[in-house]
Amino acid sequence: MNWLDEVKWDAQGLVPVIAQEASSGDVLMFAWMNREALAKTAELKRAVYFSRSRHKLWFKGEESGHVQTVHDIRIDCDNDVVLLKVTQLGHEPGIACHTGRHSCFFSSLEQSADGAPQWCAVEPVLKDPESIYK
């Protein structure tokens, strides 16, 4: 059996992917892959995702220069989620998020002054997104 056949693809032929920084363990981002993206990622040792909005392969960093070198590809116990252990390149520290932050998971549920929960950005913008994407 081909290793790609063991992945449980959804009805659109996609699988969710988590990118985790190999050195720190930080969860950098969540994305999707189709069969071709996962095969290219394994072949190139570079993160290649599938853009659902553009309906095409998305080589991480193709516009921003924020490439992800892949060190390890894992699959969960149900074979329906992929984990990439990566080194985020292109800026120090690495920027994985299109908002110019290290991680896409930069908002934390905090309590406001009146006690109501609210999402708050808890990680800084490292680079202005306007200067990243032209």
Say which CATH number the domain at 16 has. Answer: 3.10.20.810
Is 103 a member of any domain? no
Q: In residues, how long is the chain?
A: 134
Is 47 a member of any domain? yes
Tell me how many domains the chain contains: 1
What pLDDT does 65 receive? 86
Which tens digits make up the pLDDT trace of 117-131?
Answer: 999 999 999 988 888
Instruction: Report the C-alpha gap between 64 and 52 in whole angstroms.
Output: 19
Q: Collapsing DSSP states into helix, strand and coil, what is residue 61?
A: coil
What pLDDT does 93 receive? 74
Is 117 a member of any domain? no
Residue 64 vs residue 35, higher pLDDT:
35
Which tens digits make up the pLDDT trace of 75-128?
Answer: 999 999 999 999 998 767 789 988 999 999 999 999 999 999 999 999 999 988
Is 102 a member of any domain? no
For all residues of the chain together, what is the average pLDDT?
93
Q: Which domain holds residue 10?
A: 3-96
Instruction: Give the residue-averaged pLDDT of 23-33.
Output: 96
Instruction: Report the C-alpha gap between 49 and 46 in whole angstroms.
Output: 10
Q: Is the pLDDT of residue 20 over 80?
A: yes
| CA–CA distances in Å: residue 103 to residues 6, 18, 78, 112 | 29, 11, 26, 23
Is 11 a member of any domain? yes
What pLDDT does 134 receive? 61
Q: Which percentage of the chain shows pLDDT scores above 90?
A: 78
Six-digit token string for 28: 């950098």
Residues near 130 by Cβ (< 8 Å), separated by ≥ 6?
Answer: none
What pLDDT does 131 receive? 84
